[in-house]
Amino acid sequence: MKRYGQIFLGLSLVALLLWVLPWLYNLITLKPYSTPFTLYSCTVHDFTSLDRSEGRGFQFVDTKGNVYGDEAQPTFYASVLASRGTLPDTLEGRKVTLEEIEQNAVIASSDPKDLNRTLPPVYLLLESVPERLELKDPEDALVSRKGSIDIVEMASNTLREEKTRLFNAALQAEGFVYPARYFAGKPSHRKAYDEGYLVTDAENKVFQVKQINDTVHVRHFPHADGLGVHFMLITEFDNHATLGYLVSADNHLHMLRPDGEVVRTEVVFDPHKEDLLLVGDLFYYTVKTSTEKGERFWALRSSDFSLVDTLERPYPHEWSFPGLSFTSSNDGWVKPRI
Residues that bind other proteins (CB under 8 A): 1-2, 4-6, 8-9, 12-13, 15-16, 19-20, 117-118, 120-124, 137-139, 141, 143, 152, 154-157, 187, 326-327, 332-336
Spatial separation of the C-alpha atoms in residues 288 and 311, rounded to whole Å: 9
The smaller minimum CB distance to other proteins, of residues 87 and 152, is found at 152
The smaller minimum CB distance to other proteins, of residues 37 and 178, is found at 178
The smaller minimum CB distance to other proteins, of residues 103 and 330, is found at 330
Q: Which amino acid is at 177?
A: V
How big is the CA angle at 191 (ends 186 and 193), to the nearest 5 degrees?
90
The smaller minimum CB distance to other proteins, of residues 72 and 216, is found at 216
Q: How far is the CB of 291 from other proteins (least distance, A)?
A: 22
Exposed/middle/buried for residue 207 (C-beta within 10 Å: 0-12, 13-18, 19+): buried
Q: How far is the CB of 179 from other proteins (least distance, A)?
A: 12
DSSP 3: H
- Tell me the three state secondary structure of residue 278: strand
Q: How far is the CB of 252 from other proteins (least distance, A)?
A: 29
Spatial separation of the C-alpha atoms in residues 286 and 310, rounded to whole Å: 9
User: Which CB contacts under 8 angstroms, 24+ apart, belong to 85-91?
Assistant: 88/43, 91/42, 91/43, 91/282, 91/283
The CA-atom distances, in angstroms, between 128 and each of 72, 107, 210, 323 are 38, 21, 7, 49
Q: How far is the CB of 93 from other proteins (least distance, A)?
A: 44
Q: How far is the CB of 122 from other proteins (least distance, A)?
A: 5
Q: Are strands 140-145 and 122-125 parallel, antiparallel or unpaired?
A: antiparallel
Q: How far is the CB of 70 from other proteins (least distance, A)?
A: 37
Spatial separation of the C-alpha atoms in residues 333 and 338, rounded to whole Å: 14
Q: How far is the CB of 1 from other proteins (least distance, A)?
A: 4
Cis peptide bond N-terminal to 179, omega within 30: yes
The smaller minimum CB distance to other proteins, of residues 131 and 250, is found at 131
The smaller minimum CB distance to other proteins, of residues 239 and 325, is found at 325
The smaller minimum CB distance to other proteins, of residues 293 and 335, is found at 335
The smaller minimum CB distance to other proteins, of residues 65 and 120, is found at 120
Output phi, psi for 162, to 5 deg: -65, -40
Q: Within the chain, what is the greatest distance between any pair of CA atoms?
A: 84
DSSP result, 170-193: HHHHTT--SSP-EEEE---SSSS-
Q: How far is the CB of 336 from other proteins (least distance, A)?
A: 7
- Tell me the three state secondary structure of residue 12: helix
